[in-house]
Chains A and B, each alone.
Chain A
Amino acid sequence: MIMSTEPEKLTPPKRDQIAPGLTPQPRQPARTGIAEAAITVRELSVFFGSNKVLKSVNLDVPARAVTAIIGPSGCGKSTFLRTLNRMHDLVAGSRVEGQVRLFDQDIYGARVEPVQIRRRIGMVFQKYNPFPTMSIADNVTVGLRLNGLRKRSTLAERTEQALVMAALWDEVKDRLNSPAVSLSGGQQQRLCIARALAVQPEVLLMDEPASALDPLATARIEDLILELKRDYTIIIVTHNMQQAARISDDTAFFYLGELIEFGPTSKMFTSPSKKQTEDYVTGRFG
């Protein structure tokens, strides 16, 4: 569907004249209500020792869309994100109650290996961290090589695919063997995204991926996310509300470990239902 540059004039605009060139962009398409849920969370609680950090969270993350998670510091949004790929398994004294399903698989099931889950759910971190001893190409394929994939031709193919998807191919195709740390910050973060994508996950978790980058690099990452959501389910934690408004389809607001409100981004940022959400979004607290 191509948007024309002038809005269709079905009724002559009276008071509200739409400026020419300003098209209504369907950035937040209407929820059909039968959208598939990539991740379903039921009564999720997380304890660190005796400290209850997440309290009975219930959430359905729509597939092939961007879901933003917002909230003040310490509200549990990063904790929630890390519960989805079982990163808390590495934290001594942590306990997870409740259920998290990835499509039809119970992530915390008895016989499920965390390693398996992490291949289906990838993660990109706030501080970009390509492995310093490896080249660009090696960084991209590290997830494949260290899991047993050795065939050169396949690795080369997946390297190119991943770098293309991460919008980095053109910039690095002539220097795939140079050290990964020789790239700029924004490029390194895109490299990390390529590294995560090479493993061909279904879901991509992003923990404030642009907060360490300058505005230009941030804009590129945001564009990238909007491209990626055609094929991946993306969950992004961000403290930047305008960023959430720009790129996400749905937004979840967490406060003190509880999910306060979850809904379409367009509604959350123009007319949220809960006062706490309104106060946070307008900067009255947090």
Chain B
Amino acid sequence: MVHFEHELTGLKNALLTMASHAESAVKQAIDAVTNRDYDLALRVRAGDSVIDHFEVELDELAIRLLAKAPLAGDLRLIAVTMKISQNLERVGDEATKIAKRARDLSQEPPLKLPPAIPQMADLALQMLRTALDAFVSQDTATARALIPKDKQVDALNKEVHRQLANQMIEDPETISRCLNFMVVAKSLERIADHAKNVAEEVVYLCEAEDIRHSGKTKATLLSDERGGHAE
């Protein structure tokens, strides 16, 4: 069992490395927007392939471990790792989108960044970091506490959209730059969503309770009857 435990630890460490890559991609992308840094934006775009490779390798490793037919906590850990890596890969994609907008914005005259955007960025990054910390320490309370924060980011996003919409009406010269800002905000909102997903996976890992999509009506695919399949 010791060998398998080592492999599980290796899996977790790989996930955490991937997470740090994703986190720094987001941070760098936002810096590129704030500081109008063309080169930084290009570096973020290039770095996305690293994150993509991580996802592929993590999935491969996870499948290999699943072939050893683990059960209970080990099984949940591997399943959750695969889900989280998918979320992190999307976070990387969103960071790339932000970087692209940063690149475009740096080619245009500077425009004042809506203050909500750095706030959103801070929140989203904090959420991501906290979710991964909860994963490492298997702290379900922290994970659960994280989930409502997503609403804050949603609210900020709406605020940004409103502001930028007004600005575009007042000054049509700024339309293109405002649209870029809107995309950045949207991406940050999606990153916060992914952080929330990670938190939900952590809850499943710790409590074996699947709290995703709660509040929407459940579709029942599984039969309630005894006896299973009929011929």
Cross-chain contact A245 with B221 (CB below 8 angstroms): no
| A206 close to chain B: CB less than 8 A | no
Q: Are B83 and A272 interface neighbours, CB within 8 A?
A: no
Contacts of A29 in B (CB 8 A): 222-228
For chain A, the bracket of interface size reads 20 to 34
Cβ-defined partner of A245 (8 Å) among B71, B213, B223, B226: B71
B75 engages A270 (CB within 8 Å): yes
Q: A26-B228, A27-B228 are in contact. Are A278 and B72 (CB under 8 A)?
A: yes
Interface residue? B1 (CB, 8 A): yes
A1-29 contacts to B, CB under 8 A, are 1-3, 7-8, 10-11, 15-16, 24-27, 29
If A10-B219, A15-B87, A32-B224 touch, whether A1 touches B72 (CB-CB below 8 Å) is no
- Whether a CB of chain A sits under 8 angstroms from the CB of B112 is no
B223-A282 in contact (CB<8A): no
A272–B72 contact, CB under 8 A?
A: yes
Q: Which of A3, A25, A269, A283 contacts B4, CB < 8 Å?
A: A283
Find residues 68-103 in chain B having any chain A CB closer than 8 Å to their own CB.
Answer: 69-76, 83, 86-87
**Interface secondary structure of A, over-half rule:** loop
What residues of A have a CB within 8 angstroms of the CB of B225 in the complex?
A: 29
B221 engages A15 (CB within 8 Å)? no
Rounded to whole Å, the gap between the CB of A106 and the closest CB of chain B is 27
A16 to B197, CA, bound (A): 11
Q: Name the CB-closest residue of A to B224.
A: A30
Does B221 lie within 8 Å of A270, measured CB to CB? no
Total number of B residues with any Cβ neighbor in A under 8 Å: 29
- Whose C-beta in chain B lies nearest to the C-beta of A28? B228
Contact A242 B69 (CB under 8 A): yes
In-complex Cβ contact of A26 among B83, B86, B208, B223 (8 A): B223
Q: How far is the CA of A133 from the CA of B31 in the complex (A)?
A: 86
Asked if B216 lies at the interface with its beta carbon under 8 angstroms from chain A, I say yes
| Residue of B with least CB distance to A3 | B229
Q: Does B230 contact A (CB under 8 A)?
A: yes
| A27 proximity list for chain B (CB < 8 A) | 228
- The reply to whether the CB of A241 lies closer than 8 angstroms to some CB of chain B is yes
Q: What 0/1 pattern do residues 155 to 188 of A give for CB contact below 8 A with B? A: 0000000000000000000000000000000000
Residues of A within 8 A of B75 (CB): 269-270
User: Does residue A284 face the partner (Cβ distance < 8 Å to B)?
Assistant: yes
Q: Give, as a whole number of angstroms, the nearest-CB distance from A35 to chain B.
A: 7
B165 to chain A, nearest CB (A): 27
Q: Which of A3, A11, A272 contacts B219 (CB 8 A)?
A: A11
**Across-interface contacts of B207 in A (CB, < 8 A):** 271
Residues of B contacting A284 in the complex (Cβ-Cβ under 8 angstroms): 1
List which B34-85 residues lie within 8 A (CB) of chain A: 69-76, 83
In the complex, the answer to whether A283 meets B1 with C-beta atoms within 8 Å is yes
Contact (Cβ within 8 A) A35 B229: no
Within 177-231 of B, Cβ neighbours of A (below 8 Å) are at 197, 207-208, 213, 216, 219, 221-230
Looking at the complex, which one of B69, B74, B86, B223 makes contact with A1 (CB distance below 8 Å)?
Answer: B223
Give, as a whole number of angstroms, the nearest-CB distance from B53 to chain A.
20
Contact digits for A24-53, partner B, Cβ 8 Å, 1 yes 0 no: 111101101001000000000000000000
A29 to B86, CA, bound (A): 30
Whether B71 pairs with A270 at a CB distance below 8 angstroms is yes
Q: Cβ of A54 < 8 Å from any Cβ of B? A: no
Name the residue on B nearest A268 (C-beta): B72
Residues of chain B contacted by A242 (CB below 8 angstroms)? 69, 71
Residues of B within 8 A of A283 (CB): 1, 4
Q: Is A230 an interface position by the 8 A CB rule?
A: yes
- In the complex the two chains form, is A270's CB within 8 Å of B83's CB? no
B residues near A272, Cβ cutoff 8 Å: 72
* B87 to chain A: closest residue by CB: A15
Q: Which residues of B contact A (CB under 8 A)?
A: 1, 4, 69-76, 83, 86-87, 197, 207-208, 213, 216, 219, 221-230
Q: Which 7 A-B pairs have the closest CB atoms?
A: A271-B208, A10-B219, A283-B1, A269-B71, A242-B69, A26-B223, A281-B71
Using a CB–CB distance below 8 Å, which chain A residues touch chain B? 1-3, 7-8, 10-11, 15-16, 24-27, 29-30, 32, 35, 64-65, 230, 241-242, 245, 269-272, 277-278, 281-284
15 additional A-B pairs beyond A2-B230, A7-B221, beta carbons within 8 Å, are A1-B229, A3-B229, A11-B216, A24-B221, A24-B222, A26-B229, A29-B224, A29-B228, A30-B222, A32-B224, A32-B226, A241-B71, A271-B73, A277-B72, A278-B72
